[in-house]
């Protein structure tokens, strides 16, 4: 059994180096031991509750609670969807996990299927994540078919919204990855009208380890009230994108230093395109913790930390993100479609030195009008990000507003 030691040892990413490719079944079983049988893990949902495991798709919802809601509606006919869409452009954690530890992900799906009463598992994996597809396909081929659970690998469409839970269900039902206005929620009526658990890949990998080693083992990592470990994707200021596993409570400053250091005045995008900008000087000592960060106006989200080079322009970086978010709407809610497009155009004008007189003011006003007015949280994520940009890059927005192109007019995020 792995133990929690100081310094922190990876858990879901423990095992052979990345250069070895997807871990084979025999190596996986030797390293972790066999998965407890269904009778041995009969109270797994309660164990997940005790562990405090939170979902890793961005919202941090308690995993045990979600399994119970699906089980309550299941008559043994539920579906488990492993959400590996990973449409967030700055995140690489789910693709990395599926590509390197596919059997851990499959174990997680199997224990979830057993706990919620499911006969089908759908591995919904962004079609652009080729290593993940390769790893999972190889892992499926290595396993004896489970007589009780069918597993199917599905290529998810590319795009930010395609990973939203109701869009996932809509895609699997009708081939169209748009969020739905909910008259029923997936845990009640999802794929093929059956109770459906949509769970992030990383959440399931942690569940597979908890099924083996228990809640106390899981809780032995973590520095503050939120327990356990998490995958993060770090990029910039001096290094390309890397995926790492940290224990919750590790500070943003520690990550910055281990990423090669960030000069004074640097900024960081926390939580990805749904997240928030922050001045590194101000958040050095902030623990990476999905519960405490929002209390300080920050987002852990899906664990993205993207450092902006100190010679790069925050307005240009924000314009790049807003353009992506505006293009990525599912084109069905007016405030989201038109609001994000207007905000993206205004941010682009500002970054290009051709601002209209009231662009900054309008971005803030439109943000207020868009918030909470979509069928999904896509516009809310964009609003949070752009509002944090207006605050953190206040002086830059003000100088761009008077049509000054800054000398650093490029986004330069790795
Ligand atoms: C616009 C949008 C995009 C999302 N994309 C993903 C995604 O790519 N992967 C994911 O796991 N969750 C994504 N989510 C969150 C899912 O809706 C859902 O909450 C999650 O898959 C549940 O898994 P978890 O409880 O393990 O986090 C997205 C949510 C929104 C609003
Ligand atoms: S809020 Fe935006 S992204 Fe979400 S369903 Fe409506 S148009 Fe699509």
How many angstroms does the Cα of residue 394 sit away from the middle of ligand 1? Answer: 31
Q: What is the pLDDT of residue 181?
A: 72
- Confidence at residue 3, expressed as pLDDT on a 0 to 100 scale: 42
pLDDT digits (tens, 9 = 90+) for 262-287: 777 889 999 999 999 999 999 999 99
Residue 410 pLDDT: 58
Decide if 233 contacts 90 (C-beta within 8 A).
Answer: yes
Closest atom of ligand 2 relative to the 332 alpha carbon = 7
Q: Which residue has the tokens 């509606």?
A: 73
Domain ranges of the chain: 18-219, 229-308, 314-401
Token digits of residue 359: 């662009």
Q: Verify whether ligand 2 is closer than 6 Å to residue 374 (CB atom).
A: yes
2-42: pLDDT as tens digits: 444 467 899 999 999 999 999 999 999 999 998 999 888 88
Residue written as token pair 């452009």: 89
Question: In sequence order, which residues have a C-beta less than 8 Å from that of residue 11 and are 6 or more positions away?
Answer: 2, 206, 209, 221, 229, 245
Domain covering 314-401: architecture? Up-down Bundle (1.20)
The CATH number that domain 229-308 falls under is 3.10.20.600
Pocket test for ligand 1, best of 48, 82, 93, 165 (most atoms within 8 A of CB): 165
Nearby residues of 376 by Cβ (< 8 Å), 6 or more positions away: 161, 164, 166, 167, 179, 330
Q: Tell me, which fold does domain 18-219 have in CATH?
A: Rossmann fold (3.40.50)
Residue 309, ligand 1, Cβ within 6 A: no
Whole-number Å distance between alpha carbons of 237 and 259 = 7
What pLDDT score was predicted for residue 182?
59
213, 219, 232 from 301: Cα distances, Å? 26, 20, 10
Q: Does the beta carbon of 99 lie inside 6 Å of ligand 1? A: no
How far is CA 264 from each of CA 258, 308, 311, 369, 398, rounded to the nearest angstrom?
15, 12, 11, 35, 21
Residue nearest to atom 14 of ligand 1 (CA): 164
Residue nearest to atom 6 of ligand 1 (CA): 163
Whole-number pLDDT of residue 2: 44
**Rounded Cα distance, 87 and 92, in Å:** 9
Regions of the chain where pLDDT drops below 70: 1-6, 182-184, 403-414
């Amino acid at each position: 059994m792995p133990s929690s030691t100081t310094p922190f040892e990876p858990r879901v990413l423990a095992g052979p180096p990345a250069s070895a490719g997807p871990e084979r079944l025999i190596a996986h079983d030797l390293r972790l031991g066999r998965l407890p049988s269904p009778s041995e893990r009969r109270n797994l949902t309660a164990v997940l509750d005790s562990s405090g495991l939170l979902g890793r798709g961005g919202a941090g919802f308690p995993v045990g609670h979600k399994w119970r809601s699906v089980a309550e509606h299941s008559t043994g006919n539920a579906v488990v969807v492993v959400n590996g869409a990973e449409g967030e452009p700055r995140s690489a954690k789910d693709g990395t996990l599926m590509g390197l530890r596919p059997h851990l992900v499959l174990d997680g799906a199997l224990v979830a299927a057993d706990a919620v009463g499911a006969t089908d598992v759908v591995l919904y994996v962004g079609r652009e994540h080729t290593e993940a597809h390769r790893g999972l396909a190889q892992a499926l081929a290595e396993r004896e078919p489970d007589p009780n659970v069918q597993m199917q690998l599905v290529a998810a469409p590319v795009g930010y919204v395609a990973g939203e839970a109701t869009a996932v269900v809509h895609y699997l039902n009708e081939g169209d990855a748009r969020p739905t206005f909910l008259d029923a929620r997936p845990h009640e009526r999802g794929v093929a009208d059956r109770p459906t658990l949509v769970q992030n890949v990383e959440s399931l990998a942690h569940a597979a380890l908890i099924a083996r080693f228990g809640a106390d083992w899981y809780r032995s990592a973590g520095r503050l009230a939120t327990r356990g470990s998490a995958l993060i994707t770090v990029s910039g200021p001096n290094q390309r994108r890397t995926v790492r596993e940290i224990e919750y409570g590790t500070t943003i400053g520690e990550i910055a230093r281990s990423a090669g250091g960030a000069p004074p005045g640097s900024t960081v995008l926390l939580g990805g395109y749904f997240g928030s900008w922050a001045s590194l000087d101000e958040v050095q000592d902030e623990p990476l913790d999905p519960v405490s960060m929002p209390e300080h106006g920050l987002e852990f989200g899906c664990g993205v930390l993207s450092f902006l080079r100190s010679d790069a322009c925050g307005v240009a970086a924000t314009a790049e993100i807003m353009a992506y978010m505006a293009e990525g709407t599912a084109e069905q809610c007016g405030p989201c479609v038109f609001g994000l497009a207007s905000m993206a155009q205004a941010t682009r004008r500002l970054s290009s030195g051709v601002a209209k007189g009231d662009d900054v003011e309008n971005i803030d006003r439109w943000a207020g009008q868009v918030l909470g007015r979509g069928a999904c949280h896509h516009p809310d994520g964009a609003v949070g990000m752009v509002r944090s940009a207006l605050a953190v890059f206040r002086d830059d927005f003000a100088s761009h507003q008077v049509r000054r192109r800054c000398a650093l007019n490029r986004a330069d995020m790795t």
